[in-house]
A and B are shown apart, each in its own frame.
Chain A
Amino acid sequence: MVGYSRIQLWQYITAILLIFLLAWHFASRLPFLRGVDSFAETLAPDKVYEDLGGASGVLALALAYTALFHGLNGLRGILLEWLGPSRKPLVNTVVVILFLVFAGLATYGVVGITKP
Chain B
Amino acid sequence: MAGRGERRFLKNMPGWRASFNPWILKLPNNPERLAFVLHRVTGILLILILFLHITVTTTPATRGWEFWVEEIRKAQGITPVTVYFFIFAGIAIFHGLNGIRLLLVEFLGCCVGKPEKPKPPYISATLKAPQRTLLYIVFALWIILWMIAGYIIFT
Check A-B contact in the complex, CB < 8 A.
Answer: yes
Chain A residues packing against B (C-beta within 8 Å): 12, 15-16, 18-19, 22, 26, 29-31, 38-40, 43-45, 48-49, 52, 64, 67-68, 71-72, 74-75, 78, 81-82, 98, 102, 105-106, 108-114, 116
Which of B16, B54, B57 touches A82 (beta carbons < 8 Å)?
B16
Give 9 nearest A-B pairs by CB, closest first.
A109-B58, A112-B61, A71-B47, A43-B72, A40-B76, A40-B75, A116-B65, A113-B61, A82-B16
Could you list some 27 contacts between A and B, CB below 8 A? A18-B96, A18-B99, A19-B96, A26-B89, A39-B75, A39-B153, A39-B155, A40-B75, A44-B72, A45-B68, A45-B69, A49-B60, A52-B60, A64-B54, A71-B43, A71-B47, A78-B43, A82-B15, A82-B19, A102-B54, A105-B54, A106-B58, A108-B61, A108-B62, A109-B62, A112-B58, A116-B60
The answer to whether residues A68 and B43 also contact, given A40-B76, A48-B68, A106-B58 and a CB cut-off of 8 A, is: no
For B82, the chain A residues whose CB sits under 8 A away are 39
